[in-house]
């Protein structure tokens, strides 16, 4: 992010010294990692200086008078937002967008608008809380006219006690969608059904594999293409290189959302054939001696299972999957999901986990024990890299999963494989 900001000519100030108030800004926009006790935050509060949260500022200054298409859900927000932004771009809508990743079709994670003034803005709508002074989810500030509810599972154990608390926040989002708006809802999720049951005041379309959904699909052999079906009628066929049922589900949601703003389904289907995915979503970082190294953001057991399963579907039985995992998210560090880890890695041939008990607060080796001899845990990256390279064979696929930089392990693996 620092690189992106500097490329835009935005000066960075390191640290949070209270003397920074001497810069005398018009307004402080406060991110949600800032806490009480932070020296600069305390100085701002003590002096009564004007401040606002990032999501509220975006809602009031960027999204006002826009047709906002917001994509919410535990998983798939970044990819679905990227698909939706690309469909609108390819259809000539020139949307603005703000996405928590870098769509390869654009090469940037955010822009105010396209080549022309646009009424449309696509935003990744996060359920994490807004700021130290506003514990509502960020997405309530975006005032979506088209809202995608992709899925809803328990996550963010650091701020939510249970899934019911997250459902309440999604209910707040539903309350902000106007009557002329539309909800695009995953019809396979019992949690989202409970959210909708608490009240719905706008149009609603559903997608998934359950009986009675509006949007469904028929997968072609091999999984590289699928038919899009709306209310029982085939609308067209998506031909692309992406794998995994999660990406097909994301595509249905994006097609349905784009249709709400007037993009014909045939246009969306055609656009998706040129969709290039997102950085850190099954991104190939390099191939050395016929060993492929991937980078993926997966950091929740469901996302891990989906990612590993998608790669298995792509390669079949022709190669081994060496899963390399760093449990780094707040939810994972708290141990709330550790018991689900072995099951999420069942499609891998070998598993290499990184994280010390001191850093995690729980034993990664113990959590992976149900996998038996295929699982190995490390607390030093160089030792782990050495073990992976010793185990790797031509034709293998090394799948690295973390929501952080993971100590540059991808490049270390490529360099070690080359030697």
- Which helix (H) or strand (E) segment holds residue 232: the answer is none
pLDDT band at 334 (very low <50, low <70, confident <90, very high): low
pLDDT above 70 (res 331) = no
Q: Which of 64-78, 149-163, 217-231 has the lowest mean pLDDT?
A: 149-163
> Up-side HSE of residue 136: CA atoms within 13 Å toward CB?
15
| Region for 189 from its dihedrals, namely left if φ exceeds 0, alpha if ψ lies in -120 to 50, beta otherwise | beta
Express as a percent the part of the chain with pLDDT over 90: 68
Query: Is 245 within 8 Å of 273 (Cβ atoms)?
Result: no
* Lookup result for tokens 């600069």: 40
Mean pLDDT within 381-397: 94
pLDDT on residue 228: 96
pLDDT on residue 112: 92
Global pTM value:
0.76
Mean pLDDT within 96-112: 90
* Lookup result for tokens 């019911």: 164
Q: Which of 2-6, 37-41, 64-68 has the lowest mean pLDDT?
A: 2-6
Mean pLDDT within 383-405: 92
CA separation (Å) from 197 to 137, 209, 339? Answer: 20, 20, 31
Express as a percent the part of the chain with pLDDT over 70: 98
Give the ranges where 204-244 is alpha helix by DSSP (H). Answer: none
Mean pLDDT within 260-266: 97
pLDDT for 25-53, tens place per residue? 999 999 989 999 999 999 999 999 999 99
pLDDT above 90 (res 333) = no
**In angstroms, rounded to a whole number, what is the distance separating the alpha carbons of residues 348 and 360?**
23
pLDDT on residue 246: 84
**In angstroms, rounded to a whole number, what is the distance separating the alpha carbons of residues 48 and 42?**
10
pLDDT band at 291 (very low <50, low <70, confident <90, very high): very high
CATH value of 283-418 in 3.90.800.10, 3.40.50.300, 3.90.190.20, 3.30.160.40: 3.90.190.20
CA separation (Å) from 381 to 65, 196, 255? Answer: 49, 45, 41
* Lookup result for tokens 């969608």: 177
Return all residues near 94 (Cβ < 8 A) that are at least 6 apart: 88, 113, 114, 115, 116, 117, 118, 120
pLDDT on residue 324: 95
pLDDT above 80 (res 252) = yes
pLDDT band at 253 (very low <50, low <70, confident <90, very high): very high
The β-bridge partners of 229 are: 216, 234
Instruction: Spell 187-222 as b/e; 16+ CB within 10 A means b.
Output: bebebbeebbeeeeebebbbbbeeeebbbbbeeeee
Q: Which of 5-9, 43-47, 257-261 has the lowest mean pLDDT?
A: 5-9
pLDDT on residue 261: 98
Helices 190-197 and 163-176: angle between axes, nearest 10 degrees: 50
Q: Which residue spans of the chain are classified as CATH 3.90.190.20?
A: 283-418
Q: Which residue spans of the chain are classified as CATH 3.40.1190.10?
A: 55-272
Tell me: domain 55-272, CATH 3.30.460.10, correct? no
Q: Which of 46-50, 103-107, 202-206, 280-284 has the lowest mean pLDDT?
A: 280-284
Return all residues near 348 (Cβ < 8 A) that are at least 6 apart: 308, 321, 322, 323, 374, 399
pLDDT for 308-324, tens place per residue? 988 888 888 888 999 99
Query: Is 240 within 8 Å of 273 (Cβ atoms)?
Result: yes
pLDDT on residue 279: 72
pLDDT above 80 (res 188) = yes
Check residues 309 and 83 and name the one with the higher pLDDT. Answer: 83
pLDDT on residue 222: 73
């Amino acid at each position: 992010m620092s690189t992106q900001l500097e490329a835009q000519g935005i000066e960075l100030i390191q640290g949070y010294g209270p003397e920074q108030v001497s810069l005398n800004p018009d307004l402080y926009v406060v991110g949600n990692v800032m806490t009480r006790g932070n020296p600069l935050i305390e100085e701002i509060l003590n002096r009564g200086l004007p401040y606002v949260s990032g999501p509220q500022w975006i809602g009031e200054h960027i999204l006002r008078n826009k047709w906002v298409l917001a994509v919410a859900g535990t998983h798939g927000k970044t990819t679905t937002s990227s698909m939706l932004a690309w469909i609108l771009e390819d259809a000539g809508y020139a949307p603005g967008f703000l996405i928590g990743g870098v769509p390869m079709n654009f090469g940037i994670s955010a822009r105010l608008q396209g080549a022309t003034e646009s009424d449309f803005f696509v935003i990744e709508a996060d359920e994490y809380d807004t700021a130290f002074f506003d514990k509502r989810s960020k997405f309530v500030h975006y005032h979506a006219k088209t809202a995608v509810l992709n899925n809803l599972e328990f996550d963010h154990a650091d701020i939510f006690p249970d899934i019911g608390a997250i459902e309440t926040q999604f209910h707040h989002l539903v309350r902000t969608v106007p009557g002329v708006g539309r909800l695009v809802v995953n019809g396979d999720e019992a949690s989202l059904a409970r959210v909708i049951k608490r009240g719905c005041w706008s149009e609603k379309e559903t997608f998934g594999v359950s009986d009675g959904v509006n949007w469904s699909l028929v997968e072609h052999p091999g999984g590289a293409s699928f038919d899009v079906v709306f209310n029982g009628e085939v609308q067209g066929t998506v031909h692309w290189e992406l794998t995994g049922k999660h990406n097909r589900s994301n595509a249905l949601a994006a097609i349905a959302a784009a249709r709400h703003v007037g993009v014909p389904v045939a246009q969306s289907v055609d656009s998706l054939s040129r969709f290039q995915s997102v950085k850190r979503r099954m991104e190939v970082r390099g191939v050395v001696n016929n060993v492929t190294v991937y980078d993926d953001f997966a950091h929740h057991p469901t996302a891990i299972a989906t990612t590993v399963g998608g790669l298995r579907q792509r390669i079949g039985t022709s190669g081994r999957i060496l899963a390399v995992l760093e449990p780094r998210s707040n939810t994972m560090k708290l141990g709330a999901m550790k018991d689900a880890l072995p099951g999420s890695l069942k499609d891998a041939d070998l598993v290499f986990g990184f994280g010390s008990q001191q850093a995690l607060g729980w034993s990664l080796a113990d959590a992976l024990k149900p996998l038996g001899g295929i699982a190995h845990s490390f607390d030093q990256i160089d030792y782990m890299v050495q073990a992976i390279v010793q185990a790797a064979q031509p034709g293998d696929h090394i799948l690295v999963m973390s929501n952080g930089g993971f100590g540059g392990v991808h490049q270390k693996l490529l360099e070690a494989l080359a030697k």
